[in-house]
Structure 1
Amino acid sequence: MTEHRVAISIEGGVADVRLARPDKLNALDPAMFAGIIAAITELEATPGLHAVVLSGEGRGFCAGLDMASMASAGTGTDLATRTHGLANDFQQVAWGWRTLGVPVIAAVHGVAFGGGLQIASGADVRIAAPDARLAVMEMKWGIVPDMAGFALWRGNVRDDALRELAYTAREFGAEEALALGFVTRIAEDPHGEAMALARAIAGRNPHAVRAAKRLANLEGDAAAILTAESAEQAALLRSPNQIEAVTANLQKRPASFTD
């Protein structure tokens, strides 16, 4: 999918997805927006997919909006129109990773500014390089984060810190990002760590992993979550993959799941 600014390779049920505009630090132009949405749509329809690693080619993850390109193109979109469930096209490039049926791990290096940080925040897990640079950059341009950032950060990022960063657009590093909840952990080789984690996830019962993501995505009162938890567990108990998980553990061998 390099013609759409996104490259995808899949092996062993793990998709290695890379933003592919390295000469512009993977900045978001109309083609990049279209490419990311197309990639999410393709992955949603991919059979046997167990996990996704999302990264950027070249010197950084994503520098955010390519302001010149977006200004010349115009938005071309009614921001009020929901084109992908809860999200509009701009939100889908970040929100779509959260709603994808399998876990997504973002490997962040170089910069993750503005929309780039929001895209990374759509992942279930974010692994950052020690020298990664991040920013809720939108206020620099006189706008607010509008690619699902606030919905994705809620529950992860400390509220007062998020407000400060959104109001000021100041840059911060990986250690501060870890302390505040923007990233999950720091690694010298974030892509390698992300791939190892994705392969570990791919070795688990895929039906249970997808069920766990559905539960993790739930919002609402405790009663609704508890009911959903019971329903997911009832569907898993005594299913062939659940029996295989138990049997493989007892026999001390790798499990062989069907999907």
Structure 2
Amino acid sequence: MNLLSTTAPRTPAAPLRTREPLALSEAGPVLHVRLNPSDQDDTLSTAVLDALIAVLDDLHERPDIRVLVLSSLGDDFCLGADRGEFQDALASDPTGAALRRIADKAQRLCQALENTHAVTIARLHGKVVGAGLALAAHCDLRAGADTCRFRMPEVGIGLAPAWGGAMGRLVAEAGAARIRELMLTCDVFDAADAHRLGLLHKVAPLDRLDDTVTAWTKPLARRSPEALVLTKRMLTGYAKAARTADTALLDAHLLTAQLTTGRGRD
């Protein structure tokens, strides 16, 4: 199916399937994808990665979806990668092959977010940590509650930030100097700081956050699908051209190598 076509399909588009642990809903050309953690485990487990990848794969057959809003039903947007799952993967396969498969999924997910035809919006609240920040950074637009707290804790637990191409994307979005400081110190920073850095485009009180997102989705839903797709492709192309030393494709191997040769500590 041609993603640039502005002609409506002859038959009604099949609804995107709700996939555990996600909750999906459609409002015209806007798809809402909500992380739906169980037992308040707001982490990016393999199940979450698989579900998000499946939704983005399904979007290839839904050119009528022009906007994807990513949010969470948990107390926080996301507390990062599932470190317990990393440990289980290493215990079951000390060679690191199982862990590398998880890391490869993170890379595939972030590339899919960057390359999908839909304009992607991250709606952030609570804590946005590590891989959760990487996930949000790969969205086109980001709005956060003024109570958001952000952190990149990887160095503090003995790891380099090697999840889904996080470093290249964050440096491209916010600049090398400040990202260097935040990655090395693991300092917590708030929504106002994230806005100054460009990691948030909009900040709003939590009870007005949905209004802020809607202020984006309404005009985007009226835009020409062809113009949106081409503009996204151009922006992605220019951004990638500026990353002269992007090591994103190595991230899965870097993460696996670190975890199989040593253990991080708090």
Range class of TM-score, shorter chain:
0.7 to 0.9
Q: Which residue of 2 aligns with 1:250?
A: none
What code does the residue aligned with 2:220 have?
I
Match of 1:5 in 2: 21
Q: Which runs of 5+ in 1 are unaligned?
A: 223-259
Question: Which deviations, in whole Å up to 9, do the C-alpha atoms of 1:191-232 show, x marking residues without a partner?
Answer: 33223312220111111111111111113769xxxxxxxxxx
| Cα shift at 1:154 | 3.0
2:183 equivalent among 154, 160, 166: 166
Q: Pick from 179, 196, 216: which aligns with 1:197?
A: 216
Q: SS at the partner of 1:154? A: helix
Indicate conservation of the 8 Å contact 1:25/1:60, yes or no. Answer: no
Quote the residue 1:58 is aligned against.
74
**How high is the sequence identity, in percent, across the aligned residues?**
27
Whole-Å separation in 1 of the counterparts to 2:214 and 2:111: 21
- Between stretches 183-192 and 155-164, larger displacement belongs to 183-192
The TM-score, its normalising length taken from structure 2, stands at: 0.74
Match of 2:31 among 15, 39, 46: 15
Q: 2:53 aligns with which of 34, 37, 53?
A: 37
Between the aligned partners of 2:173 and 2:44, the Cα distance in structure 1 is 24
| 2:168 equivalent in structure 1 | 151
SS of corresponding position for 1:7: strand
* Aligned partners of 2:89 and 2:98 also within 8 Å: no
1:136 partnered with 2:152: yes
Pairwise CA distance, 1:44: 2.9
State the match for 2:203 in structure 1.
186
Deviation string, structure 1 residues 127-162 (Cα, Å, up to 9, x no partner)? 010010111121122112222112222332121110
Please list every run of at least 4 consecutive aligned residues from structure 1 whose deviation after the TM superposition is greater than 4 angstroms. Answer: 75-79
State the partner residue of 1:218: 237
Q: Distance in 1 between matches of 2:19 and 2:65?
A: 22
The amino acid of 1:144's aligned partner reads: A
SS of corresponding position for 2:69 = strand
Change (3 A) 1:221 1:33: closer
Using the alignment, how far apart are the partners of 1:184 and 1:92 within structure 2? 25
Show the counterpart of 1:240: none
Cross-structure match for 2:62: 46
Q: Deviations over 1:57-102 (max 9, x none)?
A: 12111110221233113465574x8x9xxx9322223332111112
Instruction: State the match for 2:10 in structure 1.
Output: none
Are residues 1:67 and 2:83 paired? yes
The one-letter amino acid paired with 2:183 is A
The aligned counterpart of 1:207 is 226
Q: Compared with structure 1, are the counterparts of its residues 169 and 44 closer, same or farther at alpha carbon in structure 2 (3 Å cutoff)?
A: farther
**Contact 1:23 1:58 (8 Å CA) reproduced:** no
Contact 1:6 1:19 survives alignment (8 Å): yes
Letter in 2 for 1:168: T
Q: Contact between 1:51 and 1:103, CA under 8 Å: does it hold in 2?
A: yes
1:47, CA displacement in angstroms? 3.4
- Structure 2 gaps, min length 5: 1-16, 91-95, 243-266
Contact 1:112 1:133 in 2 (8 A): yes
